[in-house]
């Protein structure tokens, strides 16, 4: 069975590969499908690196390094450790919680517009709007810049997994440089990043710009897909939607199960710094490891009846946000936005019909799982 294109559902392929070739070599790319193996690799950052710039040609790396440092997602310790604690201190779960009322206000407004219309598109009307508006406000991007900002964000999302889009990164870096104010006591994220200090170390301009860009790349399309995927899964399970309307306290469970069952990020990568062996397959230094989180999340050794959507399941250790030192920094924000979107949606929408998305509606990405549109009709 060949590697599916983005238009195909990957889940059957995963199941087959977990059984027949859980560690599968294709040139210098090793595809890995089992939960335990992926977990072991993600926990061993010493031998399995995220620092892909080290593998790029010198010219490409120099061009990128001119304006931004690699994002923390693509760094190994010790720099990863330092930068993660610095940005982490500006992006705390507490600072995210403070945003809850504003997120609710936005979600309510977007859901209200859906209820008013006869037909809507969940993606463009709700799940796309919420994360980009939230992160723009968090970063202090004024409404007047929001169009250009969205355009950059879309371009970056499409470039994921296909090599860096240098022009967009440059434009964005220039934009954020102008926003840096070292004497600011403002409360937006760029102001906080401009002033955080740890053991006498501050973030450089390049690091601030790099981090702002990462938030857009890592946070928008992923959360959009989480919200869309949840609504699609609930449509397939009207009994769960009814439960959710009666008992909103099950909503966090619905969010977790969507993360597991239709993981917005289906895979991530590392490269091996050593010659070694994984699952009986010889691995050479610099081999690239493609780790299928979306497959780990359905691994029958960990999840009983993993191929069905069940928010009541006991085993919740999914890997949708990764594992180890790169565990998603935005997980509290993504969970909060999805929970609030579903709370507001289920309060306002008694029932709904969905036009099943076709394969052409899938996001054109080898990494992300989601849909470009999802047509919805509210039952009145």
CA angle (291, 293, 299) in 5-degree steps? 110
Q: How far is the CB of 164 from ligand HEM (least distance, A)?
A: 16
CA angle (252, 253, 257) in 5-degree steps? 120
Q: How far is the CB of 332 from ligand HEM (least distance, A)?
A: 9
Q: How far is the CB of 285 from ligand HEM (least distance, A)?
A: 20
CA pair distance 16, 18, nearest whole angstrom: 6
Closest CB to ligand HEM among residues 216, 378: 216
CA pair distance 126, 103, nearest whole angstrom: 12
Closest CB to ligand HEM among residues 50, 168: 50
Closest CB to ligand HEM among residues 17, 226: 226
Closest CB to ligand HEM among residues 258, 346: 258
CA pair distance 338, 340, nearest whole angstrom: 6
CA pair distance 272, 284, nearest whole angstrom: 7
Binding site for ligand HEM (CB under 6 A): 50, 72-73, 84, 135, 214-215, 218-219, 222-223, 226, 264-265, 268, 320-322, 326, 328-330, 333-334
CA pair distance 157, 165, nearest whole angstrom: 10
Category of 379 on φ-ψ map: left (φ > 0), alpha (ψ -120 to 50) or beta: beta
**Angle 58-67/166-179 helices, nearest 10 degrees?**
20
Q: How far is the CB of 258 from ligand HEM (least distance, A)?
A: 9
Closest CB to ligand HEM among residues 73, 114: 73
Which residue's beta carbon is nearest to the bound ligand HEM?
330
Encoded tokens for 336:
């909060």
* Residues counted in the chain: 380
DSSP secondary structure letter of residue 368: B
Rounded alpha-carbon distances, angstroms, from residue 181 to 13, 69, 203? 50, 19, 12
Q: How far is the CB of 296 from ligand HEM (least distance, A)?
A: 11
* Three-class DSSP category at 119: strand
Closest CB to ligand HEM among residues 84, 378: 84
Q: How far is the CB of 92 from ligand HEM (least distance, A)?
A: 12
Closest CB to ligand HEM among residues 210, 378: 210
Q: Are 22 and 33 in contact (CB under 8 A)?
A: yes
Q: How far is the CB of 6 from ligand HEM (least distance, A)?
A: 17
Q: How far is the CB of 197 from ligand HEM (least distance, A)?
A: 20
Closest CB to ligand HEM among residues 265, 342: 265
Q: Are 294 and 322 in contact (CB under 8 A)?
A: no
Q: How far is the CB of 184 from ligand HEM (least distance, A)?
A: 20
CA pair distance 268, 247, nearest whole angstrom: 35
* Three-class DSSP category at 329: coil
């Amino acid at each position: 069975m060949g590697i599916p294109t983005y238009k195909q559902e990957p889940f059957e392929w995963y199941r087959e590969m977990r059984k027949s070739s859980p560690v599968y070599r294709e040139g210098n790319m090793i595809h890995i499908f089992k939960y335990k193996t992926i977990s072991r690799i993600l926990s061993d950052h010493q031998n399995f690196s995220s620092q892909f710039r080290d593998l790029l040609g010198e010219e490409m790396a120099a061009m990128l390094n001119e304006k931004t440092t690699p994002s923390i997602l693509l760094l190994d310790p010790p720099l990863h450790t330092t930068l993660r604690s610095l940005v982490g201190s500006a992006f705390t779960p507490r600072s995210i919680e403070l945003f809850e009322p504003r997120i609710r206000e936005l979600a309510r407004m977007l859901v209200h517009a859906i209820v008013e219309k006869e037909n809507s598109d969940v993606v463009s009307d709700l799940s796309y709007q919420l994360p980009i508006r939230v992160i723009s406000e968090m970063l202090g991007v004024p409404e007047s810049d929001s169009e250009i900002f969205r355009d950059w964000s879309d371009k970056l999302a499409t470039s994921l997994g296909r090599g860096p889009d240098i022009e967009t990164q440059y434009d964005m870096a220039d934009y954020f440089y102008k926003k840096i104010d070292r004497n600011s006591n403002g409360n937006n994220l760029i102001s906080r990043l401009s002033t955080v200090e740890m053991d006498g170390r501050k973030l450089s301009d390049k690091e601030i710009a790099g981090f702002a860009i990462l938030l857009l790349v890592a946070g928008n399309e992923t959360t959009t897909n989480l919200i869309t995927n949840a609504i699609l899964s609930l449509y397939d399970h009207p009994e769960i939607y009814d439960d959710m309307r009666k008992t909103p306290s099950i909503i966090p469970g619905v969010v977790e199960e969507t993360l597991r069952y239709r993981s917005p990020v289906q895979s991530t990568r590392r490269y091996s710094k050593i010659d070694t062996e994984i699952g009986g397959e010889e691995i050479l230094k610099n081999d690239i490891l493609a780790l299928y989180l979306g497959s780990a999340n359905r691994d029958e050794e960990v999840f009983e009846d993993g191929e069905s959507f069940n928010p009541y399941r006991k085993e919740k250790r999914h890997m949708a946000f990764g594992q180890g030192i790169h565990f998603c920094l935005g997980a509290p924000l993504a969970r909060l936005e999805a929970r609030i979107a579903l709370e507001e949606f289920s309060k306002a929408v008694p029932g709904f019909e969905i036009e099943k998305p076709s394969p052409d509606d899938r996001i054109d990405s080898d990494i992300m799982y989601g849909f470009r549109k999802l047509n919805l009709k509210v039952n009145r």
